[in-house]
Amino acid sequence: MDAEIKRYLNILEGKQEKLELNKLNYDRNELAPAISKDTMDYHYGKLAQTYVDRFNKGEGDAKFNKAGAFLHNILFFQYQKPSRNNNPSGKASEFITKHFKTFDKFKEAFAKEAMSIQGSGWVYLARNGKIKTIVNHEVRDDIVLLIDWWEHAWALDYQSDKQKYLENQWKIINWNAISSTLGLAE
Ligand SMILES: [Fe+2]
């Protein structure tokens, strides 16, 4: 776990020259039903890998590909097998309570911001406690918790029901990973 966190922080700080797609801490079928294996095969196995490969080969828009790889490495690091009552713990819980009072209020604010996104993008909880969005891809250094809002992340499993997609994301967030990010970078 420590090595994973270190790697994540290097990515977060933009220290890696050659990019790589980080290994998953779970099997591709283990996030179901929140995320199906088919979506993981495409999203992680093909799409995220393509950003990495194209950046390393110098193909296409380097900035776009680097940001795409960067964001997907953060995204897939944050997941774990689904569980009931998967509520924030540790530093993540303290952070959410401090900025939003309750987990429900946080989820509500997060959903509101996410649903306001037009087109492709990302929504994330930032280090200052605000919920921010990213248009397409962009490297940011203040990400605490990140959700992919591109169509490829939800369309296969949820058609157009993005609310449901987001609700199910909360079942697979690894709050220890979020706490580690908060703890190590302070
Ligand atoms: Fe994605």
| Interval between CA 170 and ligand 1 midpoint (Å) | 17
Cβ partners under 8 Å of residue 34, min gap 6 = 82, 168, 169, 171, 172
Give the environment of ion ligand 1: residues with CB less than 5 A: 148, 150
Distance 79 CA to ligand 1 centre (A): 14
Separation CA 150–CA 67 (nearest Å): 14
Q: pLDDT by residue for the chain (186 residues), tens digit each?
A: 566 666 666 666 666 678 899 999 999 999 999 999 999 999 999 999 999 999 999 999 999 999 999 999 999 999 999 988 999 999 999 999 999 999 999 999 999 999 999 999 999 999 999 999 999 999 998 999 999 999 999 999 999 999 999 999 999 999 999 999 888 654
Question: Residue 1's closest CA among 186, 179, 171?
Answer: 179
Ligand 1 centre from 72 Cα, in Å? 6
CA distances from 109 to 25, 29, 59, 129, 140 (A): 29, 30, 38, 11, 20
CA 154–ligand 1 middle distance (angstroms): 9
At residue 27, what is the residue type? D
Nearest to 77 by CA among 148, 127, 129: 148
Give me ligand 1 centre to Cα 180, in Å.
Answer: 23
6 CA from centroid of ligand 1 (Å): 22
Alpha-carbon distance 126 to 112, whole Å? Answer: 15
Whether pTM > 0.85 for this model: the answer is yes
Determine the Cα–Cα distance for residues 137 and 66; give it in Å rounded to an integer. 9
Determine the Cα–Cα distance for residues 183 and 81; give it in Å rounded to an integer: 22
Length of the chain, in residues? 186
